[in-house]
Structure 1
Amino acid sequence: MPRAVGRLTPKDLGLVVNTADPYSVEVGEFYAASRRLTPEQVLRVELPVKAVLTPEEFRSLQGQIAGHFGAATQALALAWTVPFAVNCNSITAAVTLGYDAGLCSQTCAPSRLSPYFNAATSRPYTDLRLRPAMLLAAKDVATAKSLIERGVQSDHSLGLRGGLPAKAYFIVTQDRARGVRAALYPPPGLSRGAGIEVRVETTQALEDVDRVLLYETGLSQVDKLDRVKWVPGALADHLTSFGGRLDGKGGQMNALDWISSGATATYGTVSEPCSHPQKFPHPQVLLLHYLQGSTAIEAYWKSVAWPQQGVFVGEPLAAPFSRR
């Protein structure tokens, strides 16, 4: 694990708003005010309000982003729920790494390695010429605003001397195909200095647990999310094929259920990835970058080696272990 130096702050972020989508306009305005973004940090575009963009439609967005944001912009928040994909690519990966047409002929194949995986840098555009992107996505405007408020509230809130530790749960289920990350789970234990207690449990679903910072599992459907009490800034995801199908048409639980239950960021794939663990967040990389004070967008993006099919969702700047 590299030692993280610094983190992204509001001045490093660009915000993209779709003027054709009332959700995007309202959520974008709320986010800009919540994180005190300047007018120059906001790009307004007009996109089709649909689940999946064609490569041609995406090229227009890509050109507008490149033309508007300068060298100071290190990362992007996309203020919408749809579109979440460009053909078989996620929209966050296409914006960050470029569209990969070849992957769509065989989505179960390995995809290209992200240069941002497990990187030490807090200046991804300066050092790597990429801007990690995250969707401000939720099932409705009210839920999106609650998500944003949780992200802002989380800043500097954990890892404090004398504070109660937060809990990171890594779940081993009976679903072997979706449980391939179990071999990557960290050892359980309490670290008072870091302000975290790691728990590795064998169960189908957590219930009646509190102070949950991290919840990682492998299932097509995660039950009893209403029995989980999250801390602001919590991260959660489930390894399954279509968790990133945010329109609910993947036949599986999608990532927005985590957001609705109170998580602050999540991840899911938009096309069939097969069970390559590299296409999903690496449990230890995710946890350890977050504990070092990185933001949610940094910790999540740095934890996925092959992110081309995965959509990142949440409040990008949430940083509960950051220091003022």
Structure 2
Amino acid sequence: MFISLSAALPVEAQNRISLPRTSLGPNDIAVIINENDPLSRQIGNYYLQARQIPETNIIKLRFSSKLSIITPKEFKQLKATIDQLTPKHVQAFAVAWTTPYRVGCMSLTSALAFGFDKKYCAEPCGSTALSPYFNSSSLYPYDDYKLRPAMMLAGTSFEHIKALIDRGIRSDYSFPKGQAYLMNTSDKARNSRATSFTQAAEELGELFPLQILAADYISERKDVLFYFTGLKKVPMLETLYFLPGALADHLTSAGGMLTDSPQMSSLRWLEAGATASYGTVVEPCSFSQKFPSPIVTMFQYALGASALEAYWKSVA
């Protein structure tokens, strides 16, 4: 995607000057809609219009959305249809629903990207196959790695999801001047990312105002651009203001269980005002490599990656 500069330059100069592509553009995204889910249709159509996604990039499916988990057999049938309908130039997926969020022992988004494969499953609590997309410079993940990273346009109501989409659009090319909050929490089982915080401050401190706090949470802040912590449940989110484009997540076992988590669902971040979050759907154990690396996430974001790309490139 090229962006023409609109500064006060002669017309001839404006026609020649452009910025290089740094992230996915509207033509690179396919929107997957479940026609049996009225909310999915509403979300998908809104995202399509708001993000100016080409009509040729719509993928329409029909299946039951009542359960949070589908079987690998059911997914195989859906994936065959998705593969058939996806234009070859598409590099990533936007999934317009909240359930199902899991395929057997994989997240739906991972299964869409890699295909269902048990080598990406953490059972029982071990390491998985590596993602070739981790911390890569690729601007074309499907062309380079034959994977299409996926994100879910998830929420409990159309109003919540519309607000989420609108925040993302407001953040485009905005270069927000917010703070990064890296929390060194008292929850030892979920604090494994804290060992990388000092390096993040050393390497990225000139790009983002960054605070490493020995605390479980923050409150009454109006400048949150990044918020990385490790807890079962993060309190005081309602007191925070997240800048458009803000990324926030908590390292815990079941944050990606969007609608029925025994812990805090990642949806709570989005409802509080974050633009993107991350969570796992099966027990990952406290391996930091299975969660977003804050230093990689922020570095990729600084390079101009979208939230989808920055999060995907940050998980090894």
The answer to whether structure 1 residue 170 and structure 2 residue 186 are counterparts is no
| 2: CA distance, partners of 1:272 / 1:288 | 27
Tell me the residue number matched to 1:20: 36
Q: 2:263 aligns with which of 234, 244, 252?
A: 252
| 2: CA distance, partners of 1:129 / 1:190 | 31
Tell me the residue number matched to 1:53: 70
93-102 or 56-65, which deviates more: 93-102
Structure 1 position 61, deviation (Å): 1.4
Alignment of 1:182-261 (within 5 A): 182-185=194-197, 186-188=199-201, 194=207, 196-248=208-260, 250-261=261-272
Tell me the residue number matched to 1:288: 299
Change (3 A) 1:69 1:190: closer
Higher relative contact order (Cα pairs below 8 Å, separated by 6+ residues): 1
The answer on whether the counterparts of 1:51 and 1:84 sit within 8 Å (CA) in structure 2 is yes
| 1: CA distance, partners of 2:132 / 2:88 | 18
Q: 1 or 2, which has the higher helix percentage? A: 2
SS in 1 for 2:269: helix
The answer on whether the counterparts of 2:122 and 2:128 sit within 8 Å (CA) in structure 1 is no
TM-score (norm 1): 0.87
**Which one has the largest radius of gyration?**
2
Q: 2:314 aligns with which of 294, 303, 318?
A: 303
Structure 1 position 106, deviation (Å): 2.1
SS in 1 for 2:211: strand
Runs of at least 5 residues in structure 2 that lack an aligned partner in the other structure: 1-19
Q: Cα RMSD between the aligned structures?
A: 1.8
* 1:28-78 deviation line (CA, Å, top 9, x unaligned): 111001011121110100122120010111011111111011221011100
| 2: CA distance, partners of 1:33 / 1:100 | 34
Change (3 A) 1:303 1:155: same
Task: Supply the AA of the counterpart residue of 1:176.
Answer: K
TM-score (norm 2): 0.90
The answer to whether structure 1 residue 10 and structure 2 residue 21 are counterparts is no
Task: Supply the AA of the counterpart residue of 2:143.
Answer: T
Q: 1 or 2, which has the higher strand percentage? A: 1
* 1:252-271 deviation line (CA, Å, top 9, x unaligned): 00100000000000000001
Runs of at least 5 residues in structure 1 that lack an aligned partner in the other structure: 160-164, 306-324
The answer to whether structure 1 residue 77 and structure 2 residue 97 are counterparts is no
SS in 1 for 2:311: helix
Structure 1 position 251, deviation (Å): 1.1
| 2: CA distance, partners of 1:187 / 1:28 | 36
Change (3 A) 1:88 1:5: same
Q: 1:30 aligns with which of 38, 46, 57?
A: 46
SS in 1 for 2:279: strand
288-297 or 150-159, which deviates more: 150-159
The answer on whether the counterparts of 2:26 and 2:54 sit within 8 Å (CA) in structure 1 is no
Task: Supply the AA of the counterpart residue of 1:58.
Answer: F
* 1:195-229 deviation line (CA, Å, top 9, x unaligned): x2011101111101122110000000000001111
SS in 1 for 2:241: strand
Residues matched between the structures, number:
295
The answer on whether the counterparts of 1:239 and 1:268 sit within 8 Å (CA) in structure 2 is yes
